[in-house]
Amino acid sequence: VSNYFCGADFTWNLFDFFCLLVSAVELLLNMLAGDERQGQSQLNLLKVLRLARLFRLVRIMRFKMFKELKLMAMGLLSGIRALAWAIVLLMVVIYMISIVTKSFFGDYHEEFSTVGAGMFTLFRCFTEACETYEGDPIPEKLYLRG
């Protein structure tokens, strides 16, 4: 037992022990609750915690034969990080344009009355739904206003 909690893989073994405790608590709660559904939300939380056992599969990445899989996973994580920064950059650009559109069109168009509404409208325009709340095309409304 001392080698289990103090060996080379003691962190993974502690994680396994924690998952075992979660399963035991869930089983105990099921036995105590019987057919009653009062504590169902707490049981659902325990079921989600049991899914954490899948993280034990990460240990496979240490083996030499899974080198390519590890490289693919690291590439995926790097891609997600780059995507997050691209989204931040897009939001900064939308924020700056929203400030300008609020100052130019905020008094005339409800869609640009606040910075938040302007950001939402600009995001919709960037993703193809560039219409007023009534369904009229915004570029046409802005052209007629000018």
Which tokens sit at 90?
Answer: 């897009």
pLDDT given for residue 120 in this prediction: 92
Tell me the pTM: 0.53
Could you state, in chain order, the average pLDDT of each consecutive group of 10 residues for the chain (146 residues)?
72 78 75 61 64 68 78 89 95 95 89 92 89 85 70
DSSP annotation of 137 reads: B
Distances (CA, A) of 18 to 12, 21, 23, 42, 94: 10, 5, 9, 17, 45
pLDDT given for residue 49 in this prediction: 67
Dihedrals phi, psi of 86, to nearest 5 degrees = -65, -40
pLDDT given for residue 68 in this prediction: 86
pLDDT given for residue 128 in this prediction: 85
pLDDT given for residue 41 in this prediction: 58
In 3-state terms, what secondary structure has residue 132? coil
Residue recorded with tokens 């075992």: 20
Report the alpha-carbon distance of residue 99 to residue 114 in Å, rounded: 8
pLDDT given for residue 22 in this prediction: 76
Contacting residues for 55 by C-beta, under 8 A, at least 6 apart? 15
Q: Which amino acid would we find at residue 145?
A: R
pLDDT given for residue 64 in this prediction: 79
Q: Decide: 139 and 130 in contact? Cβ < 8 Å.
A: yes
pLDDT given for residue 145 in this prediction: 63
Report the alpha-carbon distance of residue 105 to residue 144 in Å, rounded: 12
For residue range 67-101, what is the model confidence (pLDDT) as tens digits? 888 888 889 989 999 999 999 999 999 999 999 99
Residue recorded with tokens 């502690």: 14
Q: Decide: 53 and 19 in contact? Cβ < 8 Å.
A: yes
